[in-house]
Chain A
């Protein structure tokens, strides 16, 4: 099974590990991520204004490319997933936006949200199956207490993202179980790490991330797993507890025996 793949800018640079491990693992699990031949940065955040059109175009171009290749679109970065999925929803349900976008793009065939957008985790859960994954695991994380960090973007707004129960999700905990670890559930796993505010107000991000880390540590997590490069950055930067923070694809690649788990990226 081949999926069109939108890596996003960060996965090609600071979050290379997230991307490489995703591709390695997918081959082992029986599907291929075929990077879109042309793609532009999604913008990092979904533009909330109802009259925002230009800022949504790069996402629409990615969706159209996937449609024309007759493939579903897969993302690995939570932020890209959030932007592209919400834009896709606009193209399906907001006639005004769909009209203006199609008028501008002048495609051979207007786009109306036909492409299905999946996050890598959804592929693992719904297409591969966590049971199948568990059987393929060669180096399980037995005995390791792993906390899932969802952040905001994977789950909200739940009416559009439809990934999981946004207040009591289990997709990453099920993933942790599949790779042999012991999931640690803690209340702050779906609260914001600070996000982009870290650029202008690092103190605000420090407090937000601090609360997440404290809660995870308090409930016994030995390491945290996340799907968003910005979350990883914020949590690592503001970690006073020595908790390593990995991308889920790093743990996946390690569990499948494809790659050694490097120390937390950038050698800490």
Chain B
């Protein structure tokens, strides 16, 4: 004899404003097998959970139905509540009367009727539920960090600190990311390299951290606690173990005119190169497309001058397979391409630059050794115009709808530092809004205006016309003065929007991690779970999850690391007991299920069956690996004989729900 308890949550007014919760509790209380029915303001609160626990004990309940928010929110919570009261966790059903009822309907009558129907379905299901026991799966005590910028570096350092092995996979020849290209950081004006390089060195020297530079993740299999990842180590044609980073090969390389990515094309590098002096690993890399030896078989000078014998033209891409318990995604960002914004003449004049290019022009290790010079003629710029929001806050197909967050601050930094170093240079910043939401940020921006005399103008630049005398005629609006301005500038700097790295989307597919329409990884909950992907075992750090600055990135990396540590510290993980199961007496060995399983969880075995006339028949039947099965149910649909069913969501249970709704 079943004894079911029904608990209807008000969820404050989220549910009770549109659904008559008292009525729902009352009507459901009249269902057969329901011995207890109540409603309460916040079922998930301690008081609410106590109501459930007490009812389970006092009324000897065999099953519980919670009419509340989505199971994605609190199924785990209520399962734990039941367990604490001595009821099997899987004898609990959630009836979603919030996301699927009160939040989407307006009419109280209709919504209440619908809530009752949903509740009935849950009762019908729980009556057929059987107690389930979760299995256990192993945890590989090793973490993978994809991306070696400041986010990846910080996450790796924190994970290693807890004593776990960490691998960093970085697609560039060196770790460090965007921060290596930055000169000074706002608002403290710390030198970026000075605060980053010690961390990079820590990574290199830490025994627990292994860096796979010039590498990419190409395949991911498995699930939380037990990922199998294939890493492609791209051939750099230099033996990492032998190369000392002395640079003799670079000096002698005859291919000198390759645009240097590190300086965004503002200067050249050789075909064999080290991206910058503080690169980690400090190992040369040969650009296969530019190297004469690799493209046409002629040259070989670098190999001759290398005293360590590190050059290896025959090197091939290497594929490494490694197991991990947790993965941190830290693939970072890039400025957008400016080819659709040519009203600013970016493609027409070398003196129209993006903010990152400007950063390189002011960096001591940059193409002009830190002296701010016009890229076209090397002259000193006397008038600089900064244009904000190029491609950000843009709902057209040219740009991104979101605010890129860091541009107001880094432009204030650029403007302030320019005025400080070159007081004779006039600096204009055209803005829509000035966004300064961090500690010391607004004060910093006001210093730029009040102490350093930067001209902040509320308005936009409409057109930039390069002239043959070298000047850039800037036509812009000043909304407060009500004027259209014409300024002859020497340099125009565009604050290009920030977008996710190109590797992010293919990676999201490999990891089956959610991504939004802007190619930023989605977090499990935007407010309360910002560093976890909804996919278990995948964690997020840095700009790959959304535009952010360095302090936020470091904080998020630490948070992701703590989640990883929490996972790796366990020896086993409780599996999901709602897995597929095949009834071998009904299975006819057709292989339909094996073919549709996306996880490779089904295999076929030959089994012996006792036949009526005392003989033994051997039949081929399906077998599900409960550790790999994710409970998607595809096999149950494919199975023609109905042998395959899903524990916790059996065919009978689903049909009972339908019948209950149709009453």
Stretch among A108-116, A117-125, A183-191, A247-255 lining the B interface? A183-191
Contact (Cβ within 8 A) A188 B465: yes
Contact (Cβ within 8 A) A191 B342: no
Contact (Cβ within 8 A) A187 B468: no
Contact (Cβ within 8 A) A187 B347: no
Contact (Cβ within 8 A) B464 A187: yes
Contact (Cβ within 8 A) A165 B465: no
Contact (Cβ within 8 A) A187 B348: yes
Residues of B within 8 A of A167 (CB): 340-343
Quote the shortest CB–CB distance from B391 to chain A (angstroms): 12
Contact (Cβ within 8 A) A218 B468: yes
Contact with B along A187-222 (1 / 0, CB 8 A): 110010000000000000000000000010011100
Quote the shortest CB–CB distance from A141 to chain B (angstroms): 22
Contact (Cβ within 8 A) B463 A187: yes
Does residue A38 face the partner (Cβ distance < 8 Å to B)?
no
Q: In whole angstroms, what is the CA distance A184 to B467 when docked? A: 13
Residue in chain B with minimal CB distance to A185: B348
Contact (Cβ within 8 A) B468 A168: no
Q: In whole angstroms, what is the CA distance A219 to B343 when docked? A: 16
The A contact surface, by secondary structure, is loop
Q: In whole angstroms, what is the CA distance A165 to B347 when docked? A: 13
Residue in chain B with minimal CB distance to A219: B468
Contact with B along A152-178 (1 / 0, CB 8 A): 000000010000010110000000000
Given A168-B347, A185-B348, A218-B468, also A191-B339 (CB < 8 A): no
Does residue B286 face the partner (Cβ distance < 8 Å to A)?
no
Q: In whole angstroms, what is the CA distance A249 to B522 when docked? A: 53
Does residue B648 face the partner (Cβ distance < 8 Å to A)?
no
Quote the shortest CB–CB distance from A158 to chain B (angstroms): 9
Residue in chain A with minimal CB distance to B347: A168
Contact (Cβ within 8 A) A168 B467: no
Q: In whole angstroms, what is the CA distance A30 to B569 when docked? A: 74
Residues of A within 8 A of B348 (CB): 185-187
Range, interface on chain A: 10 to 19
Residues of A within 8 A of B342 (CB): 165, 167-168
Residues of A within 8 A of B466 (CB): 187, 219
The B contact surface, by secondary structure, is loop
Contact (Cβ within 8 A) A168 B463: no
Quote the shortest CB–CB distance from B345 to chain A (angstroms): 5
Residues of B within 8 A of A168 (CB): 339-340, 342, 347
Contact with A along B342-356 (1 / 0, CB 8 A): 110101100000000
Residues of A within 8 A of B339 (CB): 165, 168
Range, interface on chain B: 10 to 19
Q: In whole angstroms, what is the CA distance A165 to B345 when docked? A: 13
Q: In whole angstroms, what is the CA distance A215 to B343 when docked? A: 14
Interface-central residue, A167, A219, A220, by most chain B CB under 10 Å: A167
Q: Which of A159, A186, A191 contacts B463 (CB 8 A)?
A: A191
In the complex, chain B residues 618-654 whose Cβ is within 8 Å of any chain A Cβ: none
Given A218-B468, A219-B468, also A187-B340 (CB < 8 A): no
Given A165-B340, A167-B340, A168-B347, also A218-B463 (CB < 8 A): no
Residue in chain A with minimal CB distance to B469: A218
Residue in chain A with minimal CB distance to B397: A159
Q: In whole angstroms, what is the CA distance A165 to B340 when docked? A: 7
Residues of A within 8 A of B340 (CB): 165, 167-168
Residues of A within 8 A of B463 (CB): 187, 191
Residue in chain A with minimal CB distance to B396: A159
In the complex, chain A residues 102-142 whose Cβ is within 8 Å of any chain B Cβ: none
Residues of A within 8 A of B468 (CB): 218-220
Q: In whole angstroms, what is the CA distance A167 to B343 when docked? A: 6
Contact with A along B431-471 (1 / 0, CB 8 A): 00000000000000000000000000000000111111000
In the complex, chain B residues 496-514 whose Cβ is within 8 Å of any chain A Cβ: none
Residues of B within 8 A of A218 (CB): 467-468
Quote the shortest CB–CB distance from A97 to chain B (angstroms): 23
Quote the shortest CB–CB distance from A91 to chain B (angstroms): 22
Q: In whole angstroms, what is the CA distance A207 to B397 when docked? A: 32
Q: In whole angstroms, what is the CA distance A163 to B603 when docked? A: 55
Residues of B within 8 A of A165 (CB): 339-340, 342
Q: In whole angstroms, what is the CA distance A185 to B342 when docked? A: 12
Contact with B along A85-96 (1 / 0, CB 8 A): 000000000000
Q: In whole angstroms, what is the CA distance A187 to B347 when docked? A: 10
Contact (Cβ within 8 A) B465 A187: yes
Residue in chain B with minimal CB distance to A188: B465
Contact with B along A62-103 (1 / 0, CB 8 A): 000000000000000000000000000000000000000000
Interface-central residue, A187, A188, A218, A220, by most chain B CB under 10 Å: A187
Contact with A along B319-342 (1 / 0, CB 8 A): 000000000000000000001111
Quote the shortest CB–CB distance from A86 to chain B (angstroms): 18
Residues of B within 8 A of A215 (CB): 465, 467
Residues of B within 8 A of A186 (CB): 348
Quote the shortest CB–CB distance from B217 to chain A (angstroms): 34
Quote the shortest CB–CB distance from A187 to chain B (angstroms): 4
Residue in chain A with minimal CB distance to B472: A187
Q: In whole angstroms, what is the CA distance A167 to B347 when docked? A: 10
Interface-central residue, B339, B343, B397, by most chain A CB under 10 Å: B343
Residues of B within 8 A of A220 (CB): 468
In the complex, chain B residues 526-584 whose Cβ is within 8 Å of any chain A Cβ: none
Contact with A along B142-181 (1 / 0, CB 8 A): 0000000000000000000000000000000000000000
Quote the shortest CB–CB distance from A156 to chain B (angstroms): 12
In the complex, chain B residues 185-200 whose Cβ is within 8 Å of any chain A Cβ: none
Q: In whole angstroms, what is the CA distance A121 to B532 when docked? A: 52
Q: In whole angstroms, what is the CA distance A159 to B397 when docked? A: 9
Q: In whole angstroms, what is the CA distance A187 to B341 when docked? A: 12
Q: In whole angstroms, what is the CA distance A191 to B467 when docked? A: 16
Residue in chain A with minimal CB distance to B465: A187
Residues of A within 8 A of B465 (CB): 187-188, 215
Quote the shortest CB–CB distance from B385 to chain A (angstroms): 15
Top 10 nearest A-B pairs (CB, nearest first) are A168-B342, A167-B342, A187-B465, A218-B468, A167-B343, A187-B345, A168-B347, A218-B467, A215-B465, A187-B348
A-B contacts, 27 of them at CB < 8 A, read: A159-B397, A165-B339, A165-B340, A165-B342, A167-B340, A167-B341, A167-B342, A168-B339, A168-B340, A168-B342, A168-B347, A185-B348, A186-B348, A187-B345, A187-B348, A187-B463, A187-B464, A187-B465, A187-B466, A188-B465, A191-B463, A215-B465, A218-B467, A218-B468, A219-B466, A219-B468, A220-B468
Residues of B within 8 A of A (CB): 339-343, 345, 347-348, 397, 463-468
Q: A187-B463, A218-B467 are in contact. List 14 more A-B contacts (CB 8 A).
A: A159-B397, A165-B339, A167-B340, A167-B342, A168-B339, A187-B345, A187-B348, A187-B465, A187-B466, A188-B465, A215-B465, A215-B467, A218-B468, A219-B466
